[in-house]
Structure 1
């Protein structure tokens, strides 16, 4: 497990040395500062997991430094105040300013270690609770008894034994983040942060992306980025191809050197984290199109993990349906409804273009809108909607008049033929196709799948 990072701030050298040695013996990584100026410098260089802060120091005292961090919105971790001249009023003031606890000198090392452990655990629980509110609760183990899912879980368990980068491939909604979280839960960083970054449709905002990932510094104020948040843990970058070339280069350098510099910063920040990245399409297409850094690709692609679409393991659909019924009734307080066997069989044969995410949303919709205790076949069919016929791989025969077709089918037939025509013009290169038809690539891939258009058939 990656050691947690503690800063000890005290003007007495003997106390700094003693506290540092004891904490290091307990497995923590420790840095020390003799005054507020040095503490401020260390605080800027890397976000600590906890700070032990002396109140009475020459120059700026600990209470003033704590207040400064609070006012600058950079109080990023638990702070334990220390003092040999403590009063109840001082302790109350420190607590009001955001301190986790207050311990008196001479220090009881047993009490100090207990307070440190409790503060770190409390902070970790708070982070976990925030994360759980943003994602579905329950077991992190991916659901499904199919051979495909069993094989994937076994691969994930093997990957988790090594602190290595992972590149997850799969269609939108197939479960890439679910498997990334599963690997994290089994690895040696499982008690450290898992930070998710969604990069979708952000190519145009290069400066905003840099601030998001690397953070920034304005005078004395630090705005922590995702690399700061994930330091010591795992950063998950969804749709990694959305990074622009400039940000890709910055990320590549950070990974190669294990350090980075915030926007507007002047000092390097030590970096210790595992990166997991995801993509809904083959990044080789982007490399050929000059839109993805080849060196970054090979740095990320240490262990590729392919997450299959739900239509390739439909035998898991009944189990997934029941899983989300149980989850949503427990998590959101929705009324329980049993999905009939006929409805389950029908849904098992659905193509699920939106994959597991679509299935979850459908279950939620059925629980919210349904009145009966059982979901019938008719209700399931209505919830899924009428499907467009699957087109042939070649350009279909257009009727003498498109008015002979229903509007929806006529539109889909035209889109199918249009995309095949454009694919032939660009020799099957999807990056060029996206530019040609002026569509975002994730949406373009989804559209081609729904129309049964395979771009690989039209490459040279």
Structure 2
């Protein structure tokens, strides 16, 4: 069954009615507008997946409306122009402004349906390509035969068939987003978008508009939440949301409708939410740093993703899998991991989890030439990212037990990160690997704790 929201803009009632009926019979959701002003309002109310736009209309012609949309933030989706007597100049102008295709009057229903289907497919491929530019394409399968992975895969397969919201917990690099994508591809929403929202990577002053969109007299900007309509919204490290955004998101999820910045009317929101975090949200709720209502909204089904060291028996299988993957994807020579190398890597702590293993395999395939990976290569690669150094007891740091929990924790975190930063030679990149944090999150944490990395570097 087809899916997607189609906006039909035409001043002829018979054509609007006929096209709406045909598209709805095919399973599409259809909105209609009789002129440019009605089209603007329909677009404001709900983001379309495809627009069928008549060129000749009494108030504002289709080319002018197409130009307006194109100049105010870009076209919202593929736009198919409808024309009964278009000229070459009109076609050239519409193409320049980004029109996807033309359908001539009298409308051939077979061609109309084929053009709409192709436009939706082009839009889907564009979203996927944009996603691949933002994220390194990696395998999505939950690889591993350990008891922990067998149990996790069984849970994922059961949950993929349901539309329930999930809260994934697990250390950075453990593969939470990949598992979310894997579930999306096996869900009833697989034809819809998979949109990742990473609050920690969005500047605070722009976060509300980026998430919820914006509207004013100049047009509409669709936010990430609205872009996920009909699909899956993946909230990566949800604990990084500011308190104000937590409240707004909670209200949005409760009503299943959002209000854009500057807007007044709610916009329907139909998404499956998969949230992920490496932090203890329950502890953050208790400390007043995360809203309890949002926590319970997201925690419909909790799902714990094991760290790689908790399923170390999967390492040999993962090594072979990624060696094969990168050999095929990047046209690299395949290299075999002998037992001695497998054993060394089984006994490694993997502070960076699955991401670290994946990057290690890719690096060994790129830099190595021999058919077999040698133990010396592995030792050298692991030596570039030393495991975390444990500070000995009695190193001079004392916790002030008279402080509130939050302040005491911050006192410890500052001392801990300062010590680890010294061990890393002032390198934030090495520090991020050592403490198992994303670099973006780590920079924010250091700033919040008053640690000036540049000043320390100057002192050295």
- TM-score (norm: length of structure 2): 0.85
Match of 1:354 in 2: 352
The runs of 5 or more residues in structure 1 that have no matched partner are 391-407, 450-460
1:375 counterpart SS class: coil
In 2: Cα distance, 1:387 partner to 1:139 partner: 24
1:285–1:431 contact (8 Å) kept in structure 2: no
In 1: Cα distance, 2:353 partner to 2:408 partner: 26
Match of 1:287 in 2: 285
2:200 counterpart SS class: coil
The runs of 5 or more residues in structure 2 that have no matched partner are 418-430, 438-460
81-90 or 52-61, which deviates more: 81-90
Match of 1:103 in 2: 103
2:399 counterpart SS class: helix
1:313 counterpart SS class: helix
2:314 counterpart SS class: helix
Match of 2:453 in 1: none
1:173: how far off? Answer: 0.5
Question: Which of 206, 213, 216 pairs up with 2:214?
Answer: 216
Match of 2:238 in 1: 240
2:392 counterpart SS class: helix
Q: How does 1:373-392 map to 2 (within 5 A)?
A: 373-385=371-383
1:187 counterpart SS class: coil
Q: How does 1:54-65 map to 2 (within 5 A)?
A: 54-65=54-65
Q: How does 1:88-237 map to 2 (within 5 A)?
A: 88-137=88-137, 139-200=139-200, 205-237=203-235
1:213–1:225 contact (8 Å) kept in structure 2: yes
209-218 or 8-17, which deviates more: 209-218
Q: How does 1:320-359 map to 2 (within 5 A)?
A: 320-359=318-357
What whole-Å deviation, never above 9, does each CA across 1:190-229 have from its counterpart, x for those lacking one? 1110011222376xx5432212211223531333210121
1:431: how far off? Answer: 8.0
In structure 2, relative to structure 1, the CA distance for the partners of 1:297 and 1:435 (3 Å cut) is: farther
Asked if 1:422 is matched to 2:399, the reply is: yes
Match of 2:441 in 1: none
2:174–2:308 contact (8 Å) kept in structure 1: yes
1:32: how far off? Answer: 0.7
2:387–2:434 contact (8 Å) kept in structure 1: no
In 2: Cα distance, 1:198 partner to 1:23 partner: 36
1:6: how far off? Answer: 0.8
- Superposition RMSD on alpha carbons, in Å? 2.8
Question: What count of residue pairs does the alignment treat as equivalent?
Answer: 424
Match of 1:399 in 2: none
Match of 1:433 in 2: 409
1:439: how far off? Answer: 8.2
What whole-Å deviation, never above 9, does each CA across 1:311-352 have from its counterpart, x for those lacking one? 111111111112222222332333432222211111011111
In structure 2, relative to structure 1, the CA distance for the partners of 1:389 and 1:245 (3 Å cut) is: closer
In structure 2, relative to structure 1, the CA distance for the partners of 1:73 and 1:318 (3 Å cut) is: same
1:365: how far off? Answer: 2.2
Question: Which of 260, 268, 271 pairs up with 2:269?
Answer: 271
- TM-score (norm: length of structure 1): 0.85
In 2: Cα distance, 1:387 partner to 1:207 partner: 35
Q: How does 1:313-324 map to 2 (within 5 A)?
A: 313-324=311-322
1:423: how far off? Answer: 8.8
1:167–1:304 contact (8 Å) kept in structure 2: yes
Match of 1:46 in 2: 46
1:200 counterpart SS class: helix
In 2: Cα distance, 1:4 partner to 1:121 partner: 11
1:136: how far off? Answer: 4.5
Match of 2:452 in 1: none
2:351–2:387 contact (8 Å) kept in structure 1: no
Match of 2:21 in 1: 21
1:167–1:302 contact (8 Å) kept in structure 2: yes
2:239–2:281 contact (8 Å) kept in structure 1: yes
In 2: Cα distance, 1:335 partner to 1:300 partner: 44
In structure 2, relative to structure 1, the CA distance for the partners of 1:437 and 1:189 (3 Å cut) is: same
1:32 counterpart SS class: strand
82-91 or 207-216, which deviates more: 82-91
Match of 1:262 in 2: 260
Match of 1:393 in 2: none
What whole-Å deviation, never above 9, does each CA across 1:104-160 have from its counterpart, x for those lacking one? 111111211111111111211222233234445465222112121121111111111
2:250–2:294 contact (8 Å) kept in structure 1: yes
In 2: Cα distance, 1:250 partner to 1:225 partner: 14
1:261: how far off? Answer: 1.4
135-144 or 338-347, which deviates more: 135-144
1:53 counterpart SS class: strand
1:55–1:83 contact (8 Å) kept in structure 2: yes
